[in-house]
Amino acid sequence: MSKARHPFRRRVRPGVDAMPEVEISELDGIRSLHLGSETIQSSMNLEDPTDLVLSYSRAMMGFLLFNDSPQHILQIGLGGGSLARYIDFYLRDTKSVAIDINPQVIAVARAFFELPEEGDRFEIVEADGAEYVRIFNGSTDAILVDGFDGLQIVDALTTEEFFEDCRRALSPDGVFVTNWWSGDKRYHQFLERLCNVFEGRVLELPSASHGNVAVLAFRETPETIAWDELEKIALEREDRFGLEFVDFIERLRLTNQSSGGKLLL
């Protein structure tokens, strides 16, 4: 979710079972999804659907600095499918599963947001992500969590129990990535819980705008944490993945502890 505001909205259909109603809007060639408020949950460039329009979604894919060839990615929160489209286009050997608890979100994403073809490489599951993650045991390489209810982060996706389930689900080189809003008064409480579960192996990567932060937590310490090596990797992967990895490095420097030329994890 991005905290940016969008001026034009259209209701798709009424909410069901107390879930926020789903709306879509379009402005200047950008189609956006909303959940019961003006806040943008997801956006798609109609001319280039694989482009990650919102800066927070770009920051979430910053984990590719540390693992550029994940075999399996679990997404909790489908939204308008921005990450699904990106993964399908740039990570051709990756199996991606997107979980969403809201059937309206799934229906609207399928109808209006040009999702990848569902099959061997991409699957959508209607389920509670906090429960679904428990079926994995050391078998997913990345967990991408973007779970907002239109007003705030979903509580069930911020508990130590959930973080423990996610750590258990990750492969040895796996990374957990979540999108949080730095202005949330509970932000540091969430961060402390995550650090407790992942034994401090946590990085904060602020998005370029709107106060969103991609928070990365590693099951084990990554092999590459020296700044000079990360800078080389960033240069090599910018063109390959179409993301501003060099800028990501600078943001990581500003927001995370480092010593002796490397990140402290």
Phi, psi of 185 (to 5 degrees): -65, -15
Alpha-carbon distance 9 to 15, whole Å? Answer: 15
Catalytic residue selected from 100, 141, 146, 165? 146
CA dihedral for 37, 43, 45, 46, sign (positive or negative): negative
Name the nearest CA neighbour of 136 among 103, 95, 187. 95
Residue count (the chain): 265
Cα–Cα dist 237/246, whole Å: 9
CB atoms within 10 A of CB 260: 7
Nearest to 9 by CA among 19, 30, 23, 29: 23
202 forms beta bridges with: 217
Are 5 and 45 a contacting pair, CB within 8 Å? no
How many Cα atoms within 13 Å fall on the side-chain side of residue 151?
A: 5
Exposure on the CB side of residue 228, measured as CA atoms within 13 A: 2
Token reading at 44: 């798609």
Q: Is 247 a catalytic residue?
A: no
Catalytic center residues: 146
